[in-house]
């Protein structure tokens, strides 16, 4: 079978012809990773280049089995992030696009809003900084006093002031990811499940389902994105460190939070602190923690244990602990204690007034953050990072709120692919320089 392929380059008037015997092993665009980011990128590419062959490769038997299906499911509004970041650029619009996507398709969405509460006078400056960031990012955010906060949610406890974000919402992240996969398939994207990428020879990607020879490769491999990037000579300054998020579910008989209730976060850390989330099904959960994990998919027991990987990660964690880079000792101590239910419950209880906490007893499915660490700078990277050249592009640090950002972030990624493709010559770039 032979034929003319219409690669992204064809948009720029560069026809690309190959003879194919196994079309799906020779896609124009191969996206590694069937999480929300990979699927959103594949959808965007197919919408833009309808005649291109777009394939998504996923090592699991289903899409969304890692971070995308195991997160808090919160559509963030976009006020945490400094205005110059990609997170700020995409979050507000991402929230709007997910809301539209769910409403149009009848997917569950709870538009309950969120209160950020202060636990003492020392946190008021943090609240003011969030308000400043929200204003710069064009996010609707209301400053309320204690009485107004209680009117919004009688369960909330705050010190003098709080912030109310009316646009923060909840979705079912696994259902949303599956819906996006369905839409990709309907558009003609091939999703190959149970195919793990493990090696590379020139332009060929070696996988457990055969050798793929893509026109262009996009790496959206989440917890393994650094490893895949390194096969292509990228991501060398970085390493992914897994941080586990545990959740506790409860059904308090009275004063059950009806909006999300969050603390003022430490803005030096890329996570938001233990909070109350109301799910689309009306359940209430507290968490997530940010506990250093010992291997990348270290969800429970010895599940997905890999000795070499564990030794590598434990080695890095031991070094971070000794040097106390980015206050790792404090993080490890604070977070490991939250494995104890009473510690986690005590922390969450500070955000509410009169909510019986005894009922928070059922541990939910944990999720693991693929947090990027810069080896030389010895710090956690706060924003999304892209690196690539004329044949591949690597998405690193797709941490929260990458789920919320998925649609506009995917457009940005595909724009970068188009630029790289047009430039022809291998070009290395980092976030913001593209
Ligand atoms: C505890 C927690 C809470 C969070 N809460 C929120 C929230 O409320 N709101 C929000 O916006 N964001 C949240 N996030 C962040 C959000 O979940 C992630 O940013 C997003 O899911 C990242 O999507 P992804 O597609 O990059 O990664 P993933 O969903 O991890 O997808 C990557 C995929 O790549 C596959 N893969 C990996 N290696 C290979 C390989 N070699 N070959 C083939 N396939 C491979 C994996 O199996 C996986 O399916 C949270 C994250 C966590 C962990």
> How confident is residue 54, by pLDDT bands cut at 50, 70 and 90?
very high
35 CA distance to ligand 1 centroid (A)? 6
Give the fold, CATH level 3, of 2-66+174-237+383-423: FAD/NAD(P)-binding domain (3.50.50)
pLDDT at site 160: 97
d(CA 300, CA 290): 15
pLDDT at 21 over 90: no
Instruction: Using the mean position of ligand 1's atoms as its centre, give its distance from the Cα of residue 142 in Å.
Output: 31
**Residue 24 pLDDT level (bands cut at 50, 70, 90):** low
Which of 382 and 19 is assigned the larger pLDDT? 382
Helix axes 36-48, 402-423, angle to 10 degrees: 50
Confidence of residue 147 (pLDDT cuts 50, 70, 90): very high
**Confidence (pLDDT) at 290:** 95
CA distance 134 to 104: 27
Task: Kindly tell me if the per-residue pLDDT of 180 is higher than 90.
Answer: yes
Q: What percent of the chain lies above the pLDDT cut of 70?
A: 92
pLDDT(421) > 60: yes
Query: SS in 3 state form for the chain?
Result: CEEEECCHHHHCCCCEEEECCCHHHCCCEEEECCCHHHHHHHHHHHHHCCCCCEEEECCCCCCCCCHHHCCCCEECCCCCCCCCCHHHHHHHHHHHHHHHHHHHHCCCEECCCEEEECCCHHHHHHHHHHHHHHHHCCCCCEEEEHHHHHHHCCCECCCCEEEEECCCEEECHHHHHHHHHHHHHHHCCEEECCCCEEEEECCEEEECCEEECCCEEEECCHHHHHHHHHHCCCCCCEEEEEEEECCEEECCCCCCCCCEEEECCCCCCCCCCCEEEECCCCCEEEECCCEECCCCCCCCCCCCCCHHHHHHHHHHHHHHHHHCHHHHHHHHHHHHHHHCHHHHHHHHHCCECCCCCCCCCEECCCEEEEEEEECCCCEECCCCEEEECCCEEEEECCCCCHHHHHHHHHHHHHHHHHHHHHHCCCCCCCCCCC
Contacts of 334 (CB under 8 A, 6+ apart): none
How long, in residues, is the chain?
A: 434
Distance 18 CA to ligand 1 centre (A): 34
Q: How confident is the model at residue 8 (pLDDT cuts 50, 70, 90)?
A: very low
Predicted local confidence at residue 432, as pLDDT: 33
Can you give the pLDDT at residue 422?
77
Q: How many angstroms separate the alpha carbon of residue 222 from the centre of ligand 1?
A: 5
pLDDT number for residue 14: 34
Q: Ligand 1, residues 273, 382, 400: which to mutate, most atoms within 8 A of Cβ?
A: 400
Residue 377 CA to ligand 1 centre (angstroms): 25
Kindly state the tokens that stand for 155. 């369960």
Q: How much is the average pLDDT of 36-50? A: 97
Q: What is the mean pLDDT of residues 387-409?
A: 96
Give the ligand 1 atom nearest the CA of 395: 26
Query: Is the model's pLDDT at 7 over the cut of 90?
Result: no
Which secondary structure element, helix H or strand E, spans residue 292, and what is its range? strand 291-292
List, in order, residues 6 or more apart from 17 with CB less than 8 Å away: 4, 5
List the domain boundaries for the chain: 2-66+174-237+383-423, 111-169+242-374
Residue with structure tokens 């019986």?
356
Burial label for 1, CB within 10 Å (0-12, 13-18, 19+), is exposed
Residue 138: other Cβ atoms inside 10 A: 12
Output Rg (C-alpha) for the chain, integer angstroms: 22
Instruction: Point out the least confidently predicted range of 155-169, 305-319, 341-355, 418-432.
Output: 418-432
Residue 3 CA neighbour count, 13 Å, CB half = 14
Q: How confident is the model at residue 183 (pLDDT cuts 50, 70, 90)?
A: very high
What is the reported pLDDT for 420?
86
Residues with Cβ within 6 A of ligand 1?
32-38, 57-60, 65-68, 71-74, 76, 196-197, 220-224, 228, 245, 288, 367-369, 398-404
Percentage of the chain modeled with pLDDT above 90: 89
Look at residue 2 and tell me whether its pLDDT is greater than 60. no
- Residue-wise pLDDT tens digits, 69-118: 999 999 999 999 999 999 999 999 999 999 999 999 999 999 999 999 99
Kindly report the protein residue whose alpha carbon is nearest to atom 15 of ligand 1: 400
* CATH number of the 111-169+242-374 domain: 3.30.9.10
Query: Residue 431 pLDDT > 90, yes or no?
Result: no
Q: Ligand 1 centroid vs 36 CA: distance in angstroms?
A: 7
Instruction: Dig out the tokens for 105 from the structure.
Output: 């398709």
Pick the atom of ligand 1 nearest to 227's CA: 41
């Amino acid at each position: 079978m032979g034929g003319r392929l219409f690669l992204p380059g064809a948009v720029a008037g560069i026809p690309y012809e190959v003879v194919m015997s196994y079309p799906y092993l020779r896609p124009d665009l191969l996206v590694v990773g069937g999480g929300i980011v990979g699927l959103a990128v594949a959808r965007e590419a197919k919408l833009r280049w309808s005649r291109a062959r777009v394939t998504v490769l996923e090592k699991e038997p289903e899409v969304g089995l890692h971070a995308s299906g195991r997160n808090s499911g919160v559509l963030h509004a976009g006020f945490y992030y400094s205005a110059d970041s990609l997170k700020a650029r995409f979050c507000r619009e991402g929230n709007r696009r997910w809301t539209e996507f769910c409403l149009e398709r009848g997917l569950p969405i709870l538009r309950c809003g969120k209160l950020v509460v202060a636990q003492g006078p020392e946190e008021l400056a943090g609240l003011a900084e969030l308000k400043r960031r929200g204003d710069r990012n064009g996010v609707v955010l209301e400053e309320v006093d204690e009485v107004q906060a209680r009117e919004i949610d009688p369960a909330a406890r705050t010190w003098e002031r709080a912030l109310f974000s009316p646009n923060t919402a909840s979705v079912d992240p696994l259902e949303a990811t599956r819906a996006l996969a369905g839409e990709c398939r309907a558009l003609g994207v091939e999703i190959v499940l149970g195919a793990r990428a493990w090696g590379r020879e020139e332009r060929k990607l070696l996988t457990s389902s055969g050798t793929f020879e893509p026109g262009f490769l996009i790496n959206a491999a989440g917890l393994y994105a650094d490893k895949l990037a390194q096969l292509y000579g990228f991501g060398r300054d970085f390493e992914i460190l897994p941080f586990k998020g545990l959740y506790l579910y409860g059904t308090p008989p009275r004063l059950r939070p009806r909006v999300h209730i969050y603390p003022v976060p430490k803005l030096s850390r890329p996570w938001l602190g233990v909070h109350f989330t109301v799910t689309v099904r009306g359940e209430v959960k507290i968490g997530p923690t940010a506990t250093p994990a010992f291997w990348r998919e270290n969800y429970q027991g010895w599940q997905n244990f890999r000795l070499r990987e564990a030794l590598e990660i434990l080695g890095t964690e031991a070094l971070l602990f000794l040097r106390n880079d980015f206050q790792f000792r404090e993080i490890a101590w604070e977070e490991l204690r939250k494995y104890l239910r009473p510690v986690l419950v005590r922390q969450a209880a500070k955000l509410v007034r009169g909510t019986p906490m005894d009922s928070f007893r059922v541990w939910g499915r944990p999720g693991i953050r693929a947090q990027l660490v810069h080896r030389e700078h010895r710090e956690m990277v706060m924003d999304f990072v892209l690196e690539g050249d004329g044949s591949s592009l690597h998405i690193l640090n797709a941490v929260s709120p990458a789920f919320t950002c998925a649609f506009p972030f995917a457009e940005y990624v595909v724009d970068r692919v188009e630029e790289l493709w047009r430039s022809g010559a291998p070009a290395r770039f980092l976030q913001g320089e593209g």
